[in-house]
Amino acid sequence: AQKITQTQPGMFVQEKEAVTLDCTYDTSDPSYGLFWYKQPSSGEMIFLIYQGSYDQQNATEGRYSLNFQKARKSANLVISASQLGDSAMYFCAMREGLTGAGSYQLTFGKGTKLSVIP
Amino acid sequence: SQTIHQWPATLVQPVGSPLSLECTVEGTSNPNLYWYRQAAGRGLQLLFYSVGIGQISSEVPQNLSASRPQDRQFILSSKKLLLSDSGFYLCAWSPRLAARETQYFGPGTRLLVL
């Protein structure tokens, strides 16, 4: 079974509108971290936002927020006020296990291609 | 601030030739280092990670090897490239024992094996 599922291969959003990119995860480990990365056409993976499994509040970073629903095992990325420069691939990723305890692998989803329409 | 460099940016190599990709990190000490491969239109697959000089862990058995000769240098190598080695190779670093261990990626190397 996939550990990270991104069900939207592609999404379109109008400039200045908000968009939600879906991510569900599968783990039995009580300690884990969830990450979102942006990959523009240049290829570089850009870190956007992090949510720890024990964090009480949803993470926010500027126009990015993470809608963390632990019971449903979902970690959706919300981008507010979309800009043309937001057009890119977006990847959800998970790290299982305790920090520094040998849990170094990030498991990535297959990504969602976001296109912002002027 | 920390920066991560990779070179070359693009590489075209014949099947059977050797490979050496280099990654260096600036502005931090004792980082964890990682090599990932991304096939076209796919997510990333972890190939190797390192928690210190000379310490390499492999996640996927393959035609590739990695070395860490210096604290902030990570090298991906192959003695004989295969067609299936084509892809986009990304190096990443994360702070040691930090609360999040967020991984930060370099610009990547596009490798085409013909």
Q: For the stretch A40-69, what's the b/e string if a residue is b when 16 or more beta carbons lie within 10 angstroms of its beta carbon?
A: eeebbbebbbbbbbeeeeebeeeebbbbbe
- Asked if residue A105 has pLDDT above 90, the reply is no
Contact A42 B107 (CB under 8 A): yes
**E strands along chain A, which residues?**
4-5, 10-14, 19-21, 24-25, 32-39, 46-52, 60-61, 64-69, 74-79, 88-96, 106-108, 112-117
Interface list for chain A against chain B, based on CB atoms closer than 8 Å: 4, 33, 35, 37, 42-47, 50, 52, 91, 93, 95, 99-100, 104-106, 108-111
According to DSSP, residue B85 is labeled: G
Tell me if chain A has a CB within 8 Å of the CB of B17: no
> For residues A34 and A68, is the Cβ–Cβ distance under 8 A?
yes
User: A7 versus A2: which is more confidently predicted?
Assistant: A7
Which one of B1, B44, B59 would you mutate to disrupt binding with A, by most A Cβ within 10 Å of its Cβ?
A: B44
- Asked if residue B36 has pLDDT above 70, the reply is yes
List, for residues B64-95, the tens digit of each pLDDT value. Answer: 999 999 999 999 999 999 999 999 999 999 98
In percent, the amount of chain B with pLDDT more than 70 equals 96
- Asked if residue B42 has pLDDT above 80, the reply is no
**Which tokens go with B20?**
């050496």
d(CA A20, CA A76): 6
User: A103 versus B11: which is more confidently predicted?
Assistant: B11
d(CA A30, CA B37): 28
Of B97, B99, B107, the CB nearest to A44: B107
Of B46, B96, B106, the CB nearest to A105: B46
Kindly give, in sequence order, each residue whose CB lies less than 8 Å from that of residue B70, ignoring residues fewer than 6 positions away: B53
Q: What is the pLDDT of residue A118?
A: 95
Show which of residues 53-82 on chain B sit within 8 Å of chain A, judged by CB atoms.
Answer: 57, 59
User: At B75, which amino acid appears?
Assistant: I
d(CA B91, CA B108): 7
Q: What is the pLDDT of residue B73?
A: 97
Q: What is the pLDDT of residue A106?
A: 87
Q: Report CA torsion sign: B47, A45, B39, B72.
A: negative
d(CA B84, CA A117): 36
